[in-house]
Chain A
Amino acid sequence: SQTIHQWPATLVQPVGSPLSLECTVEGTSNPNLYWYRQAAGRGLQLLFYSVGIGQISSEVPQNLSASRPQDRQFILSSKKLLLSDSGFYLCACGLFPYEQYFGPGTRLTVT
């Protein structure tokens, strides 16, 4: 079965600093990969998804970007963080036909 790793688990960053969150997947090949964000008291917001290496679809225009340099690696980045980037970031792995499995999440606080 698949396992999704995310790190770091928690992160406190000042406004204007860069960001890099990493997600890696074990136990499956060529999965769809997803980045979600949960702001405090709000639901899931899909940020990016990828159906293959180098293929990124953006759902929400913002100061974040994503990359997929390897089949089972998905990276979320920002050049300059905003206060509104605070939240709980979840990586997910999609398997046929549609079900998704989620990682443990990264809690980001921008100060």
Chain B
Amino acid sequence: AQSVTQLGSHVSVSEGALVLLRCNYSSSVPPYLFWYVQYPNQGLQLLLKYTSAATLVKGINGFEAEFKKSETSFHLTKPSAHMSDAAEYFCAVSAPDKLIFGTGTRLQVFP
């Protein structure tokens, strides 16, 4: 069965610092992987997706993620954090007819 583990329920960074949000997955078949962002009282917005093409995936708002099969990881990074990046981030892996979501990581950005 597919599963996702997000390491760290809370991550805090200073504005301008590197953002690294960790996601490890388990899947018995080649996975599709996704990162979503959720701002307070809003629905989830797709940041980026891996669909077995390039292993380095670029998304919106300057985020990117790298698929590493050997490490079963799909970590999300951004070189320089902005205050507007403060939100909750969810990693997800494909499963038959649905997505399996991680428990989320809340990103705080300090000035």
Cβ–Cβ < 8 Å partners of B36 in chain A = 102
Interface residues of A in 21-47 (CB under 8 A from B): 32, 34, 42-44, 46
CA A104 to CA B104, docked complex, whole Å = 18
A103 proximity list for chain B (CB < 8 A):
43
Check B49 against A104 for contact (C-beta < 8 Å): no
CA distance A49 to B101 in the complex (A): 14
* Complex: A43 Cα to B6 Cα, angstroms: 11
- A97 and B51 contact, Cβ closer than 8 Å, known pairs A43-B102, A49-B98: yes
Residue of B34, B43, B45 ringed by the most chain A CB atoms within 10 A:
B43
* A3 CB, min distance to chain B CBs, angstroms: 11
Using CB atoms, name the residue of chain A closest to B93: A98
How many residue pairs bridge A and B at CB < 8 Å?
54
Is there an interface contact between B32 and A98, defined as CB atoms closer than 8 Å? yes
Q: Indicate whether B71 reaches chain A with its CB closer than 8 angstroms.
A: no
Of the candidates B41, B94, B98, the one whose C-beta lies within 8 Å of that of A97 is B94
Q: What number of A residues sit within 8 Å (CB to CB) of B?
A: 24
Q: How large is the interface on B (under 10, 10 to 19, 20 to 34, 35 or more residues)?
A: 20 to 34
A100 and B32 contacting across the interface, CB-CB below 8 Å: no
Q: Are B90 and A44 in contact, with the CB atoms below 8 A?
A: yes
In the assembled complex, the Cα of A105 lies from the Cα of B44 at a distance in Å of 9
Q: How far is the CB of A23 from chain B (nearest CB, A)?
A: 11
Chain A interface, >50% SS class: strand
Shortest Cβ distance from A92 into chain B, in angstroms? 8
Q: How far apart are the CA atoms of A102 and B34 in the complex, in Å?
A: 14
- Among B44, B51, B104, the residue within 8 A (CB) of A102 is B44
Per-position binary interface string of chain A over residues 78-111, scored 1 when its CB falls under 8 Å from any chain B CB and 0 otherwise: 0000000000101010100111111111010000
Residue numbers in B under 8 Å from A94 (CB-CB): 97-99
| C-alpha gap A43/B99 in the complex (Å) | 14
Q: Given the known inter-chain contacts A32-B97, A97-B51, A97-B94, please indicate yes or no for A105 contacting B41, CB distance below 8 A.
A: yes
Contact yes or no, A43 B42, CB < 8 A: no
Among A49, A90, A92, A98, the residue within 8 A (CB) of B94 is: A98
In B14-51, which residues have CB < 8 Å from any A CB?
Answer: 32, 34, 36, 41-46, 49, 51
